[in-house]
Structures are given as structure tokens and as C-alpha cells.
Structure 1
Amino acid sequence: MISIIILTKNEEKDLPRCLNSVSWCDDVHVVDSGSNDETLNIALLQGAKISTNTFRSFGQQRNYALDELKVKYEWILFLDADEVVTSKFKTEMIKATESAENDVAGFYCCWKMMLYGKWLKYCDNFPKWQFRLMRKGRARFTDFGHGQKEDKVEGKIEYLREPYLHYGFSKGWFYWIERHNKYSSQEAIARSLKRPPVKQIFSRDASTRNPALKSWLSRMPGWPFVRFFQAYILNFGFTEGAPGFIYCINMAYYEFLIQIKMHEQRNESQPVQLSATASSGVELENP
């Protein structure tokens, strides 16, 4: 079987759906970072084990769970509260873990981005991969942008092709925009200061290639428009109707926020050169 770890903070709206989707598991852990709504009561009522830890970053929170929780099984699935395990994903996950060779440290997983009940397959550039299913003790996480990626992996990572569901807009657009304003600051720092080498753009591994592409393309003039054009026109996002258009517009806006914050960081990192006159208030003669 598989142990499940869910990160939460004020997730009373999404957590019931997430927990219902993993009711088949007898080792569900909720790692909470200070909820003041009904999140913890919901978790208790549905039999989840609860731990609390101050949230610093996604990578740090997942590593805390790996270090502190006494999980029951060899395999661990990490979920967010706005994600749902489908019956097909469960079947493929169990099949993959039961047949995995000993040198497999884990699996990249992908999601179906859902908006207004519609799967945004083209707008969201499906599939996008994250390291979510891992063998206990065989990997860690490190922060990258507003999220995290795998770190210190002992073994190889394979791909689980069947997606789970991701309801990233379940709390409404006001919440999404507020969160992504914060996320854009973290992404700007990561793409500016932790920019991967150019050679990673050509990696066959999507988990390596995509962060590198984002970091380098973010410096291109007009990148937010290019992002919209690629997803909505070239990738046939327009076939997904109004949800697709709304999503692509907001993702372009998100990339715009990242780009202007990267520009601010570059300007702030350059020391201001003051003339002798301006700095001292005394006019000096040329030597």
C-alpha cells in the first residue's frame, strides 16, 4: 500500500473532496501550517493523522514530513488539498509501485488542471510533471520558485502517465491572484538567481527542461504575450472555450508579474554610482 501526506492551511473547502478520494488508504497524514477554520476538524472526522509545522516553503514542509512523520508504508504520495486521486490514478499508482524495481526512487506525476468543470489539457500544456510519489528514504525536496523539486535522489525516477485532478481555482480568482502575486516574487528570485545552465533546455527530462526554459525565456522581451500566444493559439487552447481564454490571460499576467519583478531585482542589484558633487555636496575641480 501507499502512505499519503497532504499539506494544508485553511482548506475547509477543498480538503473533504481530497480526503474522500483517498478513503481507500489507511495511512493518511495531514501536515497543517496554522489553520484557523474547520480544516483540522475535517481531517480528524475522516481519520487522518495530524501534525503541525510552521510553513516556510513547500520544499521545507515536505522535508519536515519526511523527517518527522511515522509513515506506515514504503511508498509515499504527496498531495495538496485541492488535488484529487481518481480511481484510474490509484490503479496505475499501485500497479507501478508494486512492480517497481529496487533502483526506482520514485515517480513524476502529472495532473489535469480543472477550471469551471473543464479539463484545460491544451491551455495548461499537459502533461506537466512533479515529483510526488517516492520511496521512503530515497529522496528529498529543494525549493524552486514558489514550489519545489526533487533533491538528493538515490536511484532513478520514472513517470506515472495517468493524471490526478488539480482544482487550482477552487477558491476563486481573488484568492488565486492574491497568491500568485506572492508566488511571482518567489519565481522572479528563482529565475534570476538560480537560473539553470543553458544545456538543461535540451534535456530529455521534462522536470529538468521546463524550469530551465522558464528561467531563460523570462528574459525575452514580450515573453508574457508569447506565453499567451503559445498556449492559446499554437497549442489550440482556444478550443477550450471561455475557461481556456480566462486561464491563458491570467497565466500571461502571472508571467508579466514575474518579468517586471526580475527587472526590478536586476536594477536593485546594480550599485548606484553617485558623482563626487552629488555625494559630498562639494564641487570638485577636474584634475
Structure 2
Amino acid sequence: MNEAGRLGDCLASLSFCDEVVVVDSFSTDDTVAIARAHGARVLQRAFEGYRSQKQFAVEQAAHDWVLCLDADERVDATLRAAIEAERAAGFADAAGYRFARLSNYFGRFLRHGNAYPDRVLRLFDRRRGGWRGNREVHESASVDGLVKTLRGDLLHFPYRSLEQQLLKTQRYARMMAEHDFRRGKRATLAKLVLAPAWRFWRGYLLRGGFLDGWHGLVYAYVRANYVRQKTVMLWLLQQGQPVADPPQDRP
């Protein structure tokens, strides 16, 4: 949805693929035109959730082996070479492949802390798996069979600004709190106090986030704030309180 600023680089990194399918949520910018200019087959579908949108894309592909990317991701040269080598070997013995995701955070790639290696399963045989389950946020693919790890990185450019990151993490926190509440998970006073602090110190100190300089410090603080928001929202849901404004009827 409205990814004209990032989609071109994503699709350029996929030039080695036999087919490219882009699922668009009725963008109002040049997203569709850019996708078609790169030779992609564009399908438009109303957004119902991150997981279901990705599974829809998988089901539309012409081939059984699929590589799934978001518009803010790119395949680096090392990962491309690894994927092409596996394809040449017929993806022998594997049902899927995972690889590291390397995120750029306001001008610096984060190589420590909770940010890296952040391995994700994105290349798989759709006959043996896909974007399964009912969780629409922090979704992940899974397969039945052997999963191998490839060299190289999936480059990730997730945030245009701090404001955009804060709005995004707040939306994710609400969605996760609502999902956890439906599953019967509950927050406690101890979690309200300790969970955000633990997320910060685990990433910043124990996993070396401080080695990424001020970028690592800000990232650790914002991620800890996400945990705080999610836990507070879950607590409020338990108390029968709303965590979002109700829909407004238009006059």
C-alpha cells in the first residue's frame, strides 16, 4: 500500500526470479505503475491482515517454490547467489530456507542486539507450508520438513522516520494485545514493570546492542516501549477497557 518510494529497489533485487507477483491494497500513489514497469503481475486485494495477505500472494504464484518479501526488503548479492545455487540443485532435501535479516536503522545497519541476525523463513515449497495460523501480526511462515539456513542477508529498511516507527509499533502492540487476549493470555503487575526493562537490557547489554552506537541505544529503547505498550493494552483489555477509539459514523 503506497510503497512507491521503496518498491522499485525491492523488485530490482528479485530480477533472478522466474515470476514476480505483487499484491497491492489499492495504492493511491505510483506503486502499481512501478510494479508493472518491473514486469510484475499485480493483483489488488483489500487488506485484511498481514498473514492472510501474504498467504493470498503465495496461492497466486505460478510455481511451487516461492520467495516472500515485503516492499521494504531486498535480497543482497550473497543471498541471491546462495538461492540460485540451491535452485540449480533442485532445492534438494529441503522444504524451506531461512536467512538473516539485516535492518537499516536511520542510516546504520544494526548488527547486534535483538535486531540481528533475526533469521526468517521466506523461501519455501508452498506444497509443504505457508503463512499458517490465525495471527495476523508478527506473522511467520512454517513448513513440514527440513529447513536449511542460507548465507547472505535480507536487507531491511523498515522505517521512514521515528514518527512512522512509533505509529507502526503502537498499531502492532494493539494487534498483539488483542490476539493474546483472545487466546486467554493475561498480563500481570510484575510483567507491566519487568517485561519492558528485560527487553531493553537483554538486547542492549546481553546481546551487545551497545556496539551499534546511538542507533542501538534508540532501537533498544523503542523496542522496550513496544513491550510496555503491548502489556499495558493487554492489562486494559482484562479490565474491560478499550484500547482504541470506536469507529465513528460518518454524517
TM-score, structure 1 normalization: 0.75
- Residue 108 of structure 2, aligned match among 118, 121, 141: 118
Q: Distance in 2 between matches of 1:105 and 1:13?
A: 33
Once residues 46 and 180 of structure 2 are traced to their aligned partners in structure 1, the CA distance between those partners, rounded to angstroms, is 25
* Residues 1:27 and 2:16 aligned together: no
Report Cα offsets for 1:76-135 as digits up to 9, x if no partner: 100000001111011112223444334x22122320011133221213342223221111
For the pair 1:61 / 2:53, whether they are aligned, the reply is yes
Query: Which residue of structure 2 aligns with residue 255 of structure 1?
Result: 227
Greater RCO between the two (CA within 8 Å, min separation 6)? Answer: 2
Aligned residue identity for 2:101: W
Distance 1:13 1:125, change over 3 A: closer
Q: Check if 1:181 corresponds to 2:173.
A: no
Q: Is the 8 A contact 2:21 2:61 kept in 1?
A: no
Residue pairs, 1:238-277, within 5 angstroms: 238-268=210-240
Hey, what does 2:138 align to over in structure 1?
A: 147
Amino acid of the residue matched to residue 173 of structure 1?
Answer: L
* C-alpha distance in 2 between matches for 1:161 and 1:191: 34
The count of aligned residue pairs is 237
TM-superposition CA deviations, 1:151-175 (whole Å, max 9, x none): 5x33232323422111111x21222
- Residues 1:70 and 1:259: Cα distance change in structure 2 (over 3 Å): closer
Aligned-pair CA distance for 1:12: 0.8
Q: CA deviation at 1:246?
A: 1.3
Which structure: larger Rg?
Answer: 1
Higher percent of residues as strand:
1
Q: Give 1:201's aligned residue.
A: none
Deviation at 1:195, TM superposition (A): 7.4
The one-letter code of the counterpart of 1:166 is: H
Deviation at 1:34, TM superposition (A): 1.5
Q: Is the 8 A contact 2:128 2:144 kept in 1?
A: yes
**Match of residue 7 from structure 2:** 15
The whole-number CA distance in structure 2 between the counterparts of 1:267 and 1:97 is 52
Q: Equivalents in 2 of 1:195, 1:111: separation in Å?
A: 31
Structure-2-length-normalised TM-score: 0.85
Q: Which residue is equivalent to 1:164?
A: 154
The alpha-carbon deviation at position 145 of structure 1 amounts to 5.7
Q: Which moved more, 1:12-21 or 1:79-88?
A: 12-21
> What is the rounded CA distance, in whole Å, between the counterparts of 2:34 and 2:115 in structure 1?
34
Is the Cα–Cα contact under 8 Å of residues 58 and 143 in structure 1 kept in the other structure? no
Amino acid at match of 2:138: G
Distance 1:145 1:75, change over 3 A: closer
Contact 1:112–1:126 (CA<8 Å) still a contact in 2? yes
- The 3 A distance-change label for structure 1 pair 135 and 223 is same
Identity in percent: 25
- For structure 1, which runs of at least 5 residues remain unmatched after alignment? 1-8, 197-214, 270-287
Give unmatched runs, 5+ long, in structure 2. 242-251
Q: 1:33: how far off?
A: 1.0
Q: How far apart are 1:26 and its partner, in Å?
A: 4.0
**AA paired with 2:178?**
I
3-state DSSP of counterpart to 2:128: coil
- Write the letter of the residue equivalent to 1:124: N
- Of 243-252 and 156-165, deviating more is 156-165
* Cα deviation, residue 259, structure 1: 0.9
The one-letter amino acid paired with 1:101 is: A
Letter of the 2:95 partner, please give it: A
